[in-house]
A and B are shown apart, each in its own frame.
Chain A
Amino acid sequence: NAGVTQTPKFRVLKTGQSMTLLCAQDMNHEYMYWYRQDPGMGLRLIHYSVGEGTTAKGEVPDGYNVSRLKKQNFLLGLESAAPSQTSVYFCASSYRGDEKLFFGSGTQLSVL
Protein backbone atom coordinates (compact mmCIF):
# COMPACT_ATOMS: atom_id res chain seq x y z
CA ASN A 1 0.00 0.00 0.00
CA ALA A 2 1.81 3.12 -1.23
CA GLY A 3 -0.58 5.74 0.22
CA VAL A 4 0.97 9.21 -0.21
CA THR A 5 4.40 9.35 -1.79
CA GLN A 6 6.61 12.43 -1.90
CA THR A 7 9.71 12.93 -4.01
CA PRO A 8 12.43 13.86 -3.42
CA LYS A 9 13.05 13.15 0.28
CA PHE A 10 15.97 15.57 0.55
CA ARG A 11 17.14 18.48 -1.58
CA VAL A 12 19.67 21.28 -1.28
CA LEU A 13 19.21 24.34 -3.47
CA LYS A 14 21.11 27.55 -3.99
CA THR A 15 19.26 30.85 -3.66
CA GLY A 16 17.45 31.63 -6.91
CA GLN A 17 17.23 28.06 -8.17
CA SER A 18 13.91 26.48 -8.98
CA MET A 19 12.52 23.06 -8.20
CA THR A 20 9.34 21.01 -8.12
CA LEU A 21 8.19 18.68 -5.36
CA LEU A 22 5.93 15.85 -6.45
CA CYS A 23 3.17 14.31 -4.37
CA ALA A 24 1.34 11.22 -5.57
CA GLN A 25 -1.54 9.36 -3.91
CA ASP A 26 -3.12 6.09 -4.93
CA MET A 27 -6.25 6.27 -2.74
CA ASN A 28 -8.48 8.14 -5.21
CA HIS A 29 -8.64 11.11 -2.83
CA GLU A 30 -10.22 14.34 -4.01
CA TYR A 31 -8.44 16.70 -1.62
CA MET A 32 -4.69 17.25 -1.54
CA TYR A 33 -2.56 19.63 0.52
CA TRP A 34 0.94 21.02 0.83
CA TYR A 35 2.21 22.04 4.29
CA ARG A 36 5.51 23.32 5.54
CA GLN A 37 6.83 22.70 9.04
CA ASP A 38 9.35 24.92 10.78
CA PRO A 39 10.59 24.53 14.37
CA GLY A 40 7.97 25.75 16.84
CA MET A 41 5.47 26.58 14.11
CA GLY A 42 3.42 23.41 13.73
CA LEU A 43 2.28 22.77 10.13
CA ARG A 44 1.30 25.72 7.97
CA LEU A 45 -0.86 25.26 4.89
CA ILE A 46 0.74 26.50 1.67
CA HIS A 47 -1.79 25.53 -1.02
CA TYR A 48 -4.49 22.93 -1.37
CA SER A 49 -6.73 21.40 -4.01
CA VAL A 50 -10.32 20.18 -3.74
CA GLY A 51 -10.22 18.23 -6.98
CA GLU A 52 -8.48 17.72 -10.30
CA GLY A 53 -7.79 21.04 -12.02
CA THR A 54 -8.43 23.15 -8.89
CA THR A 55 -6.05 24.90 -6.50
CA ALA A 56 -6.47 27.37 -3.65
CA LYS A 57 -4.20 29.41 -1.40
CA GLY A 58 -3.55 28.46 2.19
CA GLU A 59 -1.95 30.41 5.03
CA VAL A 60 1.52 30.94 3.51
CA PRO A 61 1.26 30.78 -0.32
CA ASP A 62 3.81 33.45 -1.30
CA GLY A 63 6.80 32.15 -3.27
CA TYR A 64 5.08 28.87 -4.19
CA ASN A 65 2.93 27.66 -7.08
CA VAL A 66 0.98 24.43 -7.43
CA SER A 67 -0.73 22.39 -10.09
CA ARG A 68 -3.21 19.49 -10.03
CA LEU A 69 -3.40 18.33 -13.61
CA LYS A 70 -4.16 14.74 -12.62
CA LYS A 71 -6.26 13.66 -9.66
CA GLN A 72 -3.49 11.53 -8.17
CA ASN A 73 -0.72 14.15 -8.37
CA PHE A 74 -0.17 17.50 -6.68
CA LEU A 75 2.96 19.45 -7.58
CA LEU A 76 4.57 22.20 -5.52
CA GLY A 77 6.92 24.56 -7.34
CA LEU A 78 9.47 27.05 -6.10
CA GLU A 79 10.36 29.42 -8.95
CA SER A 80 13.19 31.27 -7.21
CA ALA A 81 14.18 29.62 -3.94
CA ALA A 82 15.02 31.75 -0.90
CA PRO A 83 16.68 30.77 2.40
CA SER A 84 13.35 31.47 4.15
CA GLN A 85 11.93 28.46 2.28
CA THR A 86 14.28 26.09 4.10
CA SER A 87 11.80 23.78 5.78
CA VAL A 88 10.27 20.32 5.90
CA TYR A 89 7.45 19.99 3.38
CA PHE A 90 4.57 17.56 3.85
CA CYS A 91 1.98 16.54 1.35
CA ALA A 92 -1.34 15.12 2.52
CA SER A 93 -4.61 13.92 1.05
CA SER A 94 -8.14 13.07 2.11
CA TYR A 95 -11.19 11.68 0.33
CA ARG A 96 -13.79 14.31 1.19
CA GLY A 97 -11.93 17.08 3.00
CA ASP A 98 -13.87 16.63 6.24
CA GLU A 99 -12.01 13.64 7.55
CA LYS A 100 -8.52 12.71 8.62
CA LEU A 101 -5.57 13.45 6.38
CA PHE A 102 -3.04 10.90 5.20
CA PHE A 103 0.49 12.31 5.14
CA GLY A 104 3.53 11.63 3.02
CA SER A 105 6.89 11.10 4.73
CA GLY A 106 8.12 14.64 4.09
CA THR A 107 10.79 16.45 2.05
CA GLN A 108 13.68 18.16 3.81
CA LEU A 109 14.60 21.23 1.72
CA SER A 110 17.58 23.44 2.43
CA VAL A 111 18.16 26.67 0.52
CA LEU A 112 21.67 28.07 0.87
Chain B
Amino acid sequence: EDKVVQSPLSLVVHEGDTVTLNCSYEVTNFRSLLWYKQEKKAPTFLFMLTSSGIEKKSGRLSSILDKKELFSILNITATQTGDSAVYLCAVQNTGKLIFGQGTTLQVKP
Protein backbone atom coordinates (compact mmCIF):
# COMPACT_ATOMS: atom_id res chain seq x y z
CA GLU B 1 0.00 0.00 0.00
CA ASP B 2 1.28 3.46 -0.91
CA LYS B 3 2.30 5.51 2.10
CA VAL B 4 3.56 9.03 2.77
CA VAL B 5 4.72 9.89 6.29
CA GLN B 6 5.62 13.37 7.51
CA SER B 7 7.50 14.36 10.63
CA PRO B 8 7.22 16.06 12.95
CA LEU B 9 3.43 16.34 13.06
CA SER B 10 3.66 19.71 14.75
CA LEU B 11 6.35 22.24 15.49
CA VAL B 12 6.51 25.53 17.39
CA VAL B 13 9.41 27.91 16.71
CA HIS B 14 10.22 31.61 17.13
CA GLU B 15 10.67 34.12 14.36
CA GLY B 16 14.11 33.89 12.84
CA ASP B 17 14.55 30.18 13.51
CA THR B 18 15.30 27.68 10.75
CA VAL B 19 13.07 24.62 10.44
CA THR B 20 13.38 21.33 8.58
CA LEU B 21 10.29 19.32 7.71
CA ASN B 22 10.60 15.68 6.69
CA CYS B 23 8.69 13.49 4.29
CA SER B 24 9.31 9.79 3.66
CA TYR B 25 7.40 7.66 1.19
CA GLU B 26 6.73 4.18 -0.12
CA VAL B 27 4.93 4.06 -3.48
CA THR B 28 4.85 1.51 -6.26
CA ASN B 29 5.35 3.84 -9.25
CA PHE B 30 6.94 7.05 -8.09
CA ARG B 31 6.59 9.97 -10.49
CA SER B 32 7.25 13.07 -8.39
CA LEU B 33 7.02 14.56 -4.91
CA LEU B 34 5.19 17.82 -4.20
CA TRP B 35 5.08 20.21 -1.27
CA TYR B 36 2.03 22.35 -0.51
CA LYS B 37 1.31 25.04 2.09
CA GLN B 38 -2.16 25.17 3.58
CA GLU B 39 -3.32 28.12 5.65
CA LYS B 40 -7.04 28.46 6.03
CA LYS B 41 -8.43 27.02 2.84
CA ALA B 42 -7.08 25.19 -0.18
CA PRO B 43 -3.45 24.03 -0.36
CA THR B 44 -1.13 26.24 -2.39
CA PHE B 45 1.70 24.74 -4.42
CA LEU B 46 5.31 25.20 -3.29
CA PHE B 47 7.58 22.74 -5.11
CA MET B 48 7.59 19.70 -7.35
CA LEU B 49 10.65 17.41 -7.23
CA THR B 50 11.39 14.65 -9.68
CA SER B 51 15.17 14.20 -9.56
CA SER B 52 17.42 13.31 -6.65
CA GLY B 53 19.88 15.81 -5.29
CA ILE B 54 18.62 18.88 -7.15
CA GLU B 55 17.56 21.59 -4.74
CA LYS B 56 14.53 23.68 -5.52
CA LYS B 57 14.54 27.13 -3.96
CA SER B 58 12.03 29.93 -3.59
CA GLY B 59 13.03 32.78 -1.33
CA ARG B 60 13.53 31.40 2.17
CA LEU B 61 12.11 28.00 1.28
CA SER B 62 14.07 25.16 -0.27
CA SER B 63 13.52 21.46 -0.82
CA ILE B 64 15.48 18.43 -1.96
CA LEU B 65 14.63 14.85 -2.85
CA ASP B 66 16.54 11.63 -2.18
CA LYS B 67 15.06 8.88 -4.38
CA LYS B 68 17.46 6.25 -3.07
CA GLU B 69 16.48 6.75 0.58
CA LEU B 70 12.88 7.68 -0.36
CA PHE B 71 12.57 10.99 1.44
CA SER B 72 12.44 14.71 0.98
CA ILE B 73 13.03 17.69 3.25
CA LEU B 74 11.59 21.18 3.20
CA ASN B 75 13.72 23.89 4.79
CA ILE B 76 12.48 27.29 5.87
CA THR B 77 15.13 29.78 6.97
CA ALA B 78 14.58 32.99 8.96
CA THR B 79 10.99 31.99 9.72
CA GLN B 80 8.27 34.62 9.94
CA THR B 81 4.80 34.51 11.53
CA GLY B 82 3.36 34.34 8.02
CA ASP B 83 5.00 30.93 7.61
CA SER B 84 2.56 29.50 10.18
CA ALA B 85 0.56 26.88 8.28
CA VAL B 86 0.15 23.18 7.63
CA TYR B 87 2.80 21.89 5.22
CA LEU B 88 1.72 18.93 3.13
CA CYS B 89 3.92 16.49 1.29
CA ALA B 90 2.41 14.42 -1.53
CA VAL B 91 3.71 11.77 -3.91
CA GLN B 92 2.43 11.13 -7.43
CA ASN B 93 1.82 7.55 -8.44
CA THR B 94 0.51 7.08 -12.00
CA GLY B 95 -2.14 9.82 -11.93
CA LYS B 96 -2.90 9.76 -8.20
CA LEU B 97 -1.51 12.18 -5.63
CA ILE B 98 -1.14 10.60 -2.18
CA PHE B 99 -0.73 13.01 0.76
CA GLY B 100 0.97 12.69 4.10
CA GLN B 101 -0.67 13.78 7.35
CA GLY B 102 0.89 17.22 7.23
CA THR B 103 3.16 19.14 9.60
CA THR B 104 1.57 22.01 11.52
CA LEU B 105 4.09 24.82 11.93
CA GLN B 106 3.49 27.66 14.36
CA VAL B 107 5.92 30.58 14.30
CA LYS B 108 5.74 32.79 17.39
CA PRO B 109 6.78 36.47 17.32
Give chain A's interface residues, CB within 8 Å of chain B.
31, 33, 35, 40-45, 48, 50, 58-59, 90, 92, 97-101, 103-106
- Give chain A's interface secondary structure class: loop
The answer to whether A100 and B45 touch across the interface, beta carbons within 8 angstroms, is yes
The answer to whether A42 and B102 touch across the interface, beta carbons within 8 angstroms, is yes
The answer to whether A90 and B45 touch across the interface, beta carbons within 8 angstroms, is no
27 example contacts (A-B, Cβ-Cβ < 8 A) are as follows: A31-B95, A33-B97, A40-B9, A41-B101, A42-B4, A42-B88, A42-B101, A42-B102, A43-B90, A45-B96, A45-B99, A48-B95, A48-B96, A50-B95, A58-B96, A90-B43, A97-B94, A98-B32, A98-B92, A98-B95, A99-B32, A101-B34, A101-B45, A103-B43, A104-B42, A105-B42, A106-B42
Mask, B69-109, CB within 8 Å of A = 1, is 00000000000000000001010101111111110000000
Nearest chain A CB to B18 CB, angstrom units: 24
Count of A-B residue pairs with CB < 8 Å: 54
Query: Most B CB atoms within 10 A — which of A33, A92, A103?
Result: A103
Give the complex CA separation of A44 and B98 in angstroms.
7
Assess A103 versus B99: contact at CB under 8 Å? Given A42-B88, A98-B32, A98-B92: no
The answer to whether A42 and B99 touch across the interface, beta carbons within 8 angstroms, is yes
The answer to whether B97 and A45 touch across the interface, beta carbons within 8 angstroms, is yes
CB of B67 within 8 A of chain A?
Answer: no
Give the complex CA separation of A59 and B99 in angstroms.
11
